[in-house]
Amino acid sequence: MVFDVTEKDEWDVDPEPAQLMAVLKSTEADLLVNQNGQLSAGQCHRLQDEHDLWRWVRYAGWIGLPLAISRAVWDGIRVGDSASSRIAIITLIVVIFLVWSVFAEVKLRRVRADLTEGVVKVVEGPVRLFIYHSRQYGVHYQVIIGNLKLQISGHLYRLLRQNVRYAIYYTPRTKHILTVEKLNDCRLLTTEN
């Protein structure tokens, strides 16, 4: 994986706050609620949708396991495979299911915890923007502010400016960026709440 620091072009124009809000699907009202350290109703709804998605991913694994095992047994009978090769295939299927289940459960618990607490954290300071290139995984964007690293979308990456001071509001466990506001120079340097 190649690690490149992205420098923004000097002729880039600062984005309007409305552009940042549109990329994050947030509003001024969301920002006001986030400034009080809480999730807005719309943000709770989006987190609930994500929670439901991970719950269905977990259910898909539970439904898929017996189907995959029965298919492996049936194919073994049809082909006349040995019992030891079928046991190996079934073991592999169970291991894949366990990894799938643990991953889905961890994601589900993080989203559930963020929803239950309803807390929003904020980190303030100059941002450092990075881009990761990988043949295997493609392009990934990251912002570092203070000692916090967050994955961001390409759209948000293009709107944020290198070394400009922002306040980034995010969920503590899932690390979803909820709202972003550009800071005046009179605010404190980098702080994390």
pLDDT given for residue 121 in this prediction: 95
- Inter-CA distances, 156 with 30, 65, 111, 163, Å: 17, 38, 22, 15
| Residue 7 in this model has a pLDDT that exceeds 90 | no
Roughly how many angstroms between the first and final C-alpha of the chain, as a whole number? 32
CA distance 52 to 116: 14
CA torsion through residues 141, 145, 149, 151, sign: negative
CA distance 168 to 86: 52
The answer to whether the predicted template modeling score (pTM) of the entire model surpasses 0.85 is no
Instruction: Based on DSSP, count helices (H) and strands (E) in the chain, helices before strands.
Output: 5, 7
Coil, strand or helix at 19: helix
pLDDT given for residue 15 in this prediction: 67
Cα 44 to the chain's mean position, in Å? 15
Confidence of residue 14 (pLDDT cuts 50, 70, 90): low
CA distance 180 to 41: 17
Report pLDDT digits (tens) over 25-52: 898 899 999 999 999 999 999 999 999 9
Q: What is the mean pLDDT of residues 74-99?
A: 82
CA distance 90 to 83: 10
Report pLDDT digits (tens) over 156-168: 988 888 888 999 9
pLDDT given for residue 12 in this prediction: 55
| Residue 8 in this model has a pLDDT that exceeds 50 | no
Least confident window among 65-74, 109-118, 141-150, 170-179: 65-74
| Residue 58 in this model has a pLDDT that exceeds 90 | no
Q: What is the mean pLDDT of residues 16-20?
A: 82
